[in-house]
């Protein structure tokens, strides 16, 4: 999902089609809440993401996948670092669901670092 978004931004596309799952839907809702995408629509088993641009450049400058299928990266609550000195966002999969790094620090739980965005 994240690679498709990154590649679509490089091609300056406005809409990205992704097969839907609950995890991808939650990540899309976090991206919308944080202001990285305009909107997302779920139609059956399809997820459409509307990419956001500002002055001709994508809003997401850097999207880095941290935890991969071959190597999972977990951090405790006190090990979660701020992305770009607090200007960016990390998406974390916790026991309470998928959330941002700020929300995980506020609740006081750690988890698997999915990606960082700024």
Give me the architecture of the 1-56 domain, per CATH. Answer: 2-Layer Sandwich (3.30)
Residue 31 has a pLDDT of: 97
In the chain, domain spans: 1-56, 63-117
**Residues of the chain above pLDDT 70, percent:** 100
Residue 97 has a pLDDT of: 96
Query: 63-117: same fold as 1-56?
Result: no
Mean pLDDT, range 77-95, rounded to an integer:
94
Strand duo 97-100 + 57-58: pairing? unpaired
Question: Using one digit for the tens of pLDDT, what is the confidence trace for 5-45?
Answer: 999 999 999 999 999 999 999 999 999 999 999 999 999 99
Residue range 63-117 in CATH 3.30.465.10: no
Mean pLDDT, range 56-78, rounded to an integer:
95
């Amino acid at each position: 999902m994240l690679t498709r978004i990154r590649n679509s931004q490089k091609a300056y596309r406005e809409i990205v089609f992704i097969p839907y799952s609950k995890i991808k839907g939650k990540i899309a809702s976090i991206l919308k809440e944080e202001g990285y995408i305009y909107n997302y629509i779920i139609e059956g088993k399809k997820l459409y993401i509307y990419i956001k641009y500002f002055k001709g450049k994508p809003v997401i400058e850097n999207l880095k996948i941290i935890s991969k299928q071959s190597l999972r990266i977990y951090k405790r609550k006190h090990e979660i670092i701020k992305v770009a000195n607090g200007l960016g966002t990390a998406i974390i999969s916790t026991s309470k669901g998928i959330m941002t790094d700020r929300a995980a620090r506020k609740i006081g739980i750690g988890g698997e670092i999915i990606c960082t965005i700024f």
